[in-house]
Amino acid sequence: MELRHLRYFIMVAEERHFTRAALRLNMQQPPLSQQIRALETELGFDLFKRHSKGVDLTAGGSVFLHEARDILARVELGARKAELAALGIEGTLSIGFTSSAALHPLIPKIIRRYREKHIGVEIKLTEGSAKGLTEDVIEKHIDIGILRAPVGQHPAIEFHRLLNEEMLLVLPVGHPLLARASTDDHGEPMIAITDLRNEPFILVRRPGAPGMYANFINACKHAGFTPVVACEVERMFTNVSLVASGMGLSVVPASMRNALSESVVYCRIRDAQPRLVAPITLVCAHFNQAPPLRNFIELARALGKEYRVAARQ
């Protein structure tokens, strides 16, 4: 039994006449009659009572008409759903993010724009560390991770750099270094990296944010000293809170500069080599990317480019 047999049967049932049904189907009447007879043979009962004026449904034919219409409707619905899924219009997308990446204004903009463009896609959000999210992508627990610096390399994943932003020094209000700070062309305070030689630092643990951690350590070593690490924390927002309590200094992405601003001061770092930047990076599967994921990456890259262009103006 094929779907065309069901369509033939439904047309004859609606017209109650083989010739009229054949005209609507754009086919000859004898082949239509042969197809209906073959369907009845396969089913094992008559679908129609044939008479000189046309046909009437049998009891079995009436029940089968309802089922045939339901089958075709479900096939059409399934085909439509499959088409929407293939286009990325429907489906699910699981997104993981680090707390510091989520604080950047670009990220909520991307997610909101994606939800507006793809209202049929269910979005699932989760928070984690850069290392944990990367592992979750490799293990296919999530579709995409939004983090700062890439963590490791693996043939199953790829990274998309959306932008870089400056890293800032965080000090508690009233810290002695602020009295020695210079200012840039915009009047923002700047502190030389060499002035940080004897200061204790609160940093995100190396496994959680190895790229930014390593860059800061390397910049300090390039300036002739190894920074004193007084404490390591799991999340980047925690270090700002500890700075506010006087436990030490820290470095964070510029997009965090409003956090606890009544208790801490954010300063640019002068003469750091390599330059201290915090990227926004997407990590996702390299192979067999589902349409919702491909659409998200395309949108994120486009909005990232818009953000970079606007920042230069």
How much is the pLDDT for 191? 95
Q: Which CATH architecture describes the domain 90-163+279-312? A: 3-Layer(aba) Sandwich (3.40)
| Pairing verdict, β 200-204 and 228-233 | parallel
Encoding tokens for residue 269?
């770092």
| Sign of the Cα pseudo-torsion (34, 40, 45, 50, in order) | negative
What's the CA gap between 47 and 62, in Å, rounded?
A: 8
For 78, 88, 89, the CA distances from 83, given in Å and listed in that order, are 9, 9, 9
What's the CA gap between 229 and 249, in Å, rounded?
A: 10
Burial of 243 (0-12, 13-18, 19+ CB in 10 A): buried
Sequence ranges of the domains in the chain: 3-86, 90-163+279-312, 165-278
Q: Which amino acid is at 102?
A: A
Cβ(234)–Cβ(128) below 8 Å:
no
To which H or E segment does residue 70 belong? helix 59-87
Among 98, 163, 167, smallest CA distance to 134 is for 98
Please say whether the structural domain 3-86 has been given the CATH code 3.40.190.10.
Answer: no
How much is the pLDDT for 131? 85
How much is the pLDDT for 281? 95
Among 158, 271, 157, 253, smallest CA distance to 211 is for 253
Assigned superfamily of 165-278: Periplasmic binding protein-like II (3.40.190.10)
Contacts of 164 (CB under 8 A, 6+ apart): 277, 278, 279, 280
Q: Please, what is the angle between helix 59-87 and helix 3-15, to 10°?
A: 130
Contacts of 268 (CB under 8 A, 6+ apart): 166, 168, 169, 184, 188, 189, 190, 191
What's the CA gap between 59 and 47, in Å, rounded?
A: 8
| The two domains 3-86 and 165-278 share their CATH topology (first three levels equal) | no
What's the CA gap between 275 and 214, in Å, rounded?
A: 12
How much is the pLDDT for 206? 64
Among 149, 128, 135, 134, smallest CA distance to 209 is for 149
How much is the pLDDT for 313? 64
Cβ(170)–Cβ(178) below 8 Å:
no
Helix/strand number for the chain, H first, E second: 10, 13
Beta bridge partners of 51: 54
For 104, 120, 197, the CA distances from 101, given in Å and listed in that order, are 6, 26, 28
Q: Each residue's pLDDT tens digit in the chain (313 positions)?
A: 788 888 888 888 888 988 888 888 898 988 888 888 888 888 888 888 999 888 899 988 889 889 989 988 888 877 777 776 776 667 889 999 988 898 899 999 999 999 999 988 999 999 988 889 999 999 999 999 999 888 878 899 999 999 999 999 999 999 999 998 888 877 888 999 999 999 999 998 765 455 778 889 999 999 999 999 999 888 778 899 999 999 999 999 999 888 898 999 999 999 998 889 989 999 999 988 888 999 999 999 999 999 999 887 6
What's the CA gap between 223 and 219, in Å, rounded?
A: 6
